[in-house]
Structure 1
C-alpha cells in the first residue's frame, strides 16, 4: 500500500467503499479487505467507511447518531479484535419495538444488548470525561443493536469492521427512558432471552468499564477529526455481553435492571 501514490491510494479506498455498499445492497458478503495485500491502516479503514456511507447519504438517509463497537471483552474475543471502533447510525437503520425486522435486509446478523444515550447537548473531545457525558445526556434507554457484517463469515480484523461502518445493521430502542443519574450504569445488570431462553447476561461495566466511558472514548476519538456528538443524536455505547446469532422467526427480549426492557422480532 505504501508504494501507491496518494491519488491511487484514494482510488483504492473509494473502490473498496463502493464494494462494501454493493455487498450491502445485494446482501452478498465479500472477502476480507485485509486479506488482499493492501496493508490497510485504521485511518484507511475510516476513509473506506466514509465512501461506503456516502452512497446511503446521497439517496436520502441522514445521520441520527453514532455507535461504539467492540467495547466488551466478550465481543473482542469473539471477533478477534483488540480495540473499540465507531460507526454512524443512519435514519434507515431505526426500527420500533412493534416492528418486525425483515431478514431480507440483513446478511449474517447478530444481536447485542446495549445502553443507548440520547444527547441533549453537543460533546466535543478531547478531554471529555464520564461526568461530562452524564451531564450532556438527556436520557438512557435499553437498546438492541443488530450488527451485520458485509465481510464473509465474519472473518474480520479491526480494519475490516471499521471499513464496514463498524458492522452496523439496524437498531431498536426500548420504550423506557431514564435520566442517567437515576441509576448506576456500571452496575446495572442485563438479562437477554432468545425465544424465551436466557442466552446471555452482562452488566454496564462490560462497555469499557462504564457505558458513559465508552461515550467519552467516542467523543475524544472523534474530536481530533473535527466531529462532535450532537444534541439530539443517539449514541450506542456497546454490547454488554456476547453476540447472539439470529434467524427468521426469532424473538429476542432483554431487561436491564432499573432501566427497563427492549424486544425485537425477525421474519
Structure 2
C-alpha cells in the first residue's frame, strides 16, 4: 500500500509530489484533504510548474488537452467550463503500441476528436468560427487518462494540478480538413473485448468540439498564453472512459475518422 507524505503543501511541493507519483507509479489522497486553498487558479499554477519541470528534463510541448467537456460532469464538479492541460511528446503513444501499464496507475480510455492547428489561436474573445478556421486537420483519437489520486477521487483544484489526469494518447489513421467533416454528427462506438459498451456523437463535447477549442483559447489567454500553430489539441472525452485492463482489447470506431485499436497490454510491473 502506498503511503502519503504529510506536510504543509504549496505550489512547489505539490508539483514535485505529483511528478514523483507519476514517476514512481503510485497514487495518493487528494491534496485538498489537507490544503483547502488548492482552488482552480492555484491548480493551474501547479500545472504550469510541472510543465516547466517536464521541459527541464527534456520533454517537448506538443499541444494541449481539455478535460471535463461534458456539461453533466461539469455540474457534478461544480464548475462551468472545461479544464485545460498540457501535452508533451512523452505522452504520445505510437499507433499499435499497447497501453503502457508499467508506467500508469489505473489507466482508462476515452475517444476524442483531435485537432491539429494550422494557425495560432489567441484569445480572449475567440469564437467557434475563428477556432475552426485555425484548424488544419481533424482526426479521431483515444486518450489514456490516468490519475495520481486514489480511485480517481479529486476536487477541481486537485485534477487541474494533476494536468487533468494526463497519461498517454494515440491518434487515428484518417486526417481530414475541417471542411470535409460534420463534427456535430460524427459518431463513435466504444468496443471492449468484442462488445459495444458505449456510443455518442462529438456533439457531446460542449455541443461541438470547436466550442471546446474556443473555450481553451480563451482560458489560456487569461494566463497570457495561446494555442500555437502545429499543436495537437485533444478536445475531451466523447463518451465515458472505460478501464484499460491488462489483457483487454479496446476499439474506438469513428463514423468518418476510422478506428483505433488499443491492447490493454500485460500486467503492470510496479
TM above 0.5, yes or no, is yes
Equivalent position of 1:3 in the other structure: none
What's the CA shift for 1:31? Answer: 1.1
Which is further off, 166-175 or 180-189?
180-189
- Mark the runs of 5 or more structure 1 residues left unpaired by the alignment: 1-8
Superposed, 1:71-82 pairs within 5 Å as 71-73=69-71, 75-76=73-74, 80=77, 82=79
Contact residue 110 and residue 146 of structure 1 kept, 8 A: yes
Equivalent position of 1:164 in the other structure: 162
Mark the CA change 1:33 to 1:156 in structure 2 (over 3 Å): closer, same or farther.
Answer: same
Equivalent position of 2:223 in the other structure: 225
Equivalent position of 1:109 in the other structure: 107
Equivalent position of 2:171 in the other structure: 173
Superposed, 1:1-267 pairs within 5 Å as 12-73=10-71, 75-76=73-74, 80=77, 82=79, 83-267=81-265
What's the CA shift for 1:173? Answer: 0.3
- Mark the runs of 5 or more structure 2 residues left unpaired by the alignment: 1-7, 266-270
RMSD over aligned CA atoms reads 1.6
User: What whole-Å deviation, never above 9, does each CA across 1:188-244 have from its counterpart, x for those lacking one?
Assistant: 111111111111111111111100100010001111211111111000001111111
Aligned length: 257
Contact residue 125 and residue 223 of structure 1 kept, 8 A: yes
CA distance in 2, matches of 1:208, 1:162: 19
TM-score by length of 2: 0.91
Deviant stretches of 4+, over 4 Å: 74-77
TM-score by length of 1: 0.92
